[in-house]
Amino acid sequence: MDRRFEDRVAIVTGAASGIGAAIAARLHAEGAKVAVADLKAEAAQAAAAKLVADAGGEAIGIACDVGAEEQVEATVRAVLDRFGRVDVIVNNAGLMTFKTLAEFTGDDWLKVLRVDLLGAAFFTRQGFLHFGEKGGAIVNIASVHAVETSANAAPYSAAKAALLSLTRTSSIEGRDVAIRANAVLPGAIDTPMLWENPNVKSGAETIDKRDVGTPADIANAVAFLASEDARFITGTTLAVDGGRLARL
């Protein structure tokens, strides 16, 4: 395997499970020192310990609610204290809730927007403040729901669509300071979030087995976008969905 992240430091949010864990493992396998930032403190520490046990290198687990700006600041401070720098931020932590538009209250909306949109905005701010002179790379994990959606998931779809807009602004403001920002649109990926989706459980959203990818499929794309191989790619969105979005 290439080691494109030797001497680089990466923060991956929501990395205690699912797609985030696969992204953390991939960046770590390519030489990155990785911070696993997750709401679940013990799971974050266990995930980081597993990375080191499996492949050596360095990793730390940090308890962080990405929707709380002071916790995001503390996470970046802890990473700088431990590793001295930060080069890559992957905004992966996400939350999806299910109600009709008539049922969603303001609190319901804020609960999702806080994690899926503001969490990424808070970490983006920290990247702009603390990436070094060589700049850095931000990868935002959005969803195919950012561009096509189904009923009963309005805050999630809206947050993911707004995340694409944040990605564009980040690429524009990042241009002069060597910060690249790109977004990945996962399709159906084999994680608990997919199979616990009530629309999927009820059959309202049917998923052809051939349309289901793995967390590693997303990690491959993220590692590319975060690496120097993508040095001329910024402000773009990459669908990693097995072609699902392209079909009627």
Ligand X SMILES: NC(=O)c1ccc[n+]([C@@H]2O[C@H](COP(=O)([O-])OP(=O)(O)OC[C@H]3O[C@@H](n4cnc5c(N)ncnc54)[C@H](O)[C@@H]3O)[C@@H](O)[C@H]2O)c1
Of the candidates 12, 32, 38, 166, which one interacts with ligand X according to CB under 6 A? Answer: 38
- The set of residues, in sequence order, having a beta carbon less than 8 Å from that of 103 and lying 6+ positions away, is none
Q: Beta 188-189 vs 179-186: how paired, if at all?
A: unpaired
Using the rule CB under 6 A, give the single segment among 26-34, 93-101, 147-155, 227-235 that binds ligand X.
Answer: 93-101
**H/E run at residue 75:** helix 69-83
Tell me which stretch binds ligand X (CB under 6 A): 2-10, 175-183, 191-199, 202-210. 191-199
Is residue 191 within the footprint of ligand X (CB under 6 A)? yes
Q: Which of 178, 200 has the CB closer to ligand X? A: 200
Site size for ligand X, by CB under 6 A?
A: 28
Residue 92: count other Cβ atoms within 10 Å of its Cβ.
29
Residue 177 Cβ, how far from ligand X at the closest point, in Å? 26
Q: Which residue's entry shows tokens 């996962």?
A: 186
Q: CB of 90: closest distance to ligand X in angstroms? A: 10
Q: How many CA atoms lie within 13 A of 206 on its CB side?
A: 1
Q: Which stretch binds ligand X (CB under 6 A): 9-17, 103-111, 201-209, 230-238?
A: 9-17
CA dihedral 150→156→158→159, nearest 10 degrees, is -150
Show the binding pattern over residues 209-238: x = contacts ligand X (CB under 6 A), - = does not.
------------------------------
Question: For residues 10 and 83, what is the distance between their CA atoms, to the nearest angstrom?
Answer: 10
Closer of 45 and 92 to ligand X (Cβ): 92
Tell the smallest beta-carbon distance from residue 70 to ligand X (Å).
13
Measured distance CA(231)–CA(171) in Å, rounded: 12
**Would residue 156 show up in a list of annotated catalytic residues for this protein?**
yes
- In Å, how far are 3, 155, 192, 195 from 89, measured between CA atoms? 17, 23, 23, 27
Give yes or no for residue 115 binding ligand X (CB under 6 A).
yes
Catalytic site residue from 83, 156, 160, 222: 156
List all residues 6 or more positions away from 77 whose beta carbon is below 8 Å from its beta carbon.
Answer: none
Which positions touch ligand X (CB under 6 A)? 13-14, 16-20, 38-40, 64-67, 92-95, 115, 141, 143, 186, 188-189, 191-194
Residues with catalytic roles: 156
